[in-house]
Amino acid sequence: MSSTTQSTLVADKDWWRGAVIYQIYPRSYQDSNGDGIGDLKGITARLQHIADLGADAIWISPFFTSPMKDFGYDVSNYVDVDPMFGSLADFDGMIAEAHRLGVRIMIDLVMSHSSDQHAWFVESRSSRVNPKADWYVWSDPKPDGTPPNNWLSIFGGSAWHWDPTRMQYYLHNFLASQPDMNLHNPEVQDALLAATRFWLERGVDGFRLDTINFYFHDKELRDNPALAPERRNASTAPAVNPYNFQEHIYDKNRPENIAFLKRFRALLDEYPAIAAVGEVGDSQRGLEIVGEYTSGSDKMQMCYAFEFLAPEPLTPEVVRNTQNAFAAAAPEGWACWAFSNHDVVRHISRWGASVLDRDAYAKMMAALLLTQRGSVCIYQGEELGLTEADIAFEDLQDPYGIQFWPEFKGRDGCRTPMVWDDHATQAGFSTAAKTWLPIPVEHVLKSVNTQVGRQETVLEQYRRFLAFRRQYPAFAKGDITFHEASGTRLAYTRALGNEKLLCVFNMSAEPAAIALPQGEWLALDGHGFASSVNDNTVELPAWGAYFARHA
């Protein structure tokens, strides 16, 4: 197995703190067999790109056996690879090559729910008295036959689905084909931890935990209260979804989760250098929950909430307020920040739709993300400055988009295949005549081969900035102090020991002059932005940035 392969990695228990993690959506990264769908061998073939970029680790979205109703987030076998993506041998080969290149691998565990085709659920639904009858969340109907309470699914409608065999409802926070597991049952916890150990033994370096705050439900199945309109936030679900009309205090975010997270962490700690990052999906209490889940050293190493994945524009005030709110909610915790992922509109389109110079905007946003306090996730194609793809209804694959079209077009626009070579078939992603999602022409024009080696490109800016970040430990592990966060001006320092670094941003399309904090500052190279300093004021171009070290 890959764990015995020659590796350039050092067993550092703290490697995750300040790490840059590159997210791969396996269907869309690289197709190795010409079927139009990415796979594990394809990822292995492209690992050099990630090593050259300078990422510390990759997070791979689910590749487990699945009917693919939700593209892998509906798992039917937790300890095998779906044939669409390859085999366990392919996985072992991928780990071996990643470790040879000095890149760690984190995999996406989906433990709140499974596919309805998982053997566990097939047995559970077969009767009310079988050995796994209580492995999922079942309930009798109300006397009038309606669902047991008012809980809603993120994918629309009731979170309860009627099963005629058991003559009961089962809970599904997502698709009806994704029944929720009953983690109140210790046997379910044991089975999920056994699956986790399976991948640890194969040499993974960590996990991304999907929907970590959905693991437990209220045993009494109490109704969620209504949420006042002014408190509704569309970052967890799109604005057209009535899911936002409730305060989700009984269908998720339950206090029982803490004990399970401690069990999970104890398992990780049996191995030399394993880390986990949890996805906290909650628009009202996200940072508070992150604080609970990352406090001390016996739960998650890090979590991420949705503050920087929200549709609302990113402003200096939002950056400052988010960091300060995290520090208040999680004084012992550690965040993992992302601007884009496989579930949201790419940030270049989400926040920069009206920006004329998209490349300058992408470079500034990269520098902003990579100098935040916390670890960082970069989503594939982000390093190329890719925008959200416009997918026609007839090409949609995402059930979420199909359900809420056209007000919400789903997640396919951020999941289109990676573009490698503008001269190759399907931009070098596949030799197939048709790929699982179409590749936009505007993406082909930003292919890796068109950017590599050209200093003015977004890709080379990412490479330079990741190298720049590695030079200064304060960027990865230091504290953050804000000096200005108003209008379009943002300035903060990152400090670790005797190292103090200044980061200044002009978050606008117009030139700006920004006063520097008191002290003697020595400008640092490596950021790639034009600027000049006169009388302790830095002059920045549109979307400009300035970095300096305290003398």
- How far is the C-alpha of 18 from the C-alpha of 27, rounded, in Å? 28
Distance CA 90, CA 375 (A): 29
Helix (H, G, I), strand (E, B) or coil at 501: strand
Q: Is-contact 93 44, C-beta < 8 A?
A: yes
CA distance 206 to 208: 7
- Residue 259 C-beta-side C-alpha neighbours within 13 Å: 9
CA-nearest of 281, 279, 283 to 228 is 283
Instruction: Kindly report the length of the chain.
Output: 551
Query: Nearest Cα to 73, choosing from 169, 171, 163, 179?
Result: 179
CB 251 within 8 A of CB 224: yes
Which residues belong to the active site?
A: 210, 270
In angstroms, rounded to a whole number, what is the distance separating the alpha carbons of residues 95 and 118?
26
- Nearest-angstrom CA–CA distance, 207 and 201: 13
Tokens of 319: 């950056």
Output the 3-class SS for 442-474.
HHHCCCHHHHCCCCCCHHHHHHHHHHHHHHCHH
Determine the longest span between alpha carbons in the chain, in angstroms. 79
- 3-state secondary structure (DSSP) of residue 130: coil
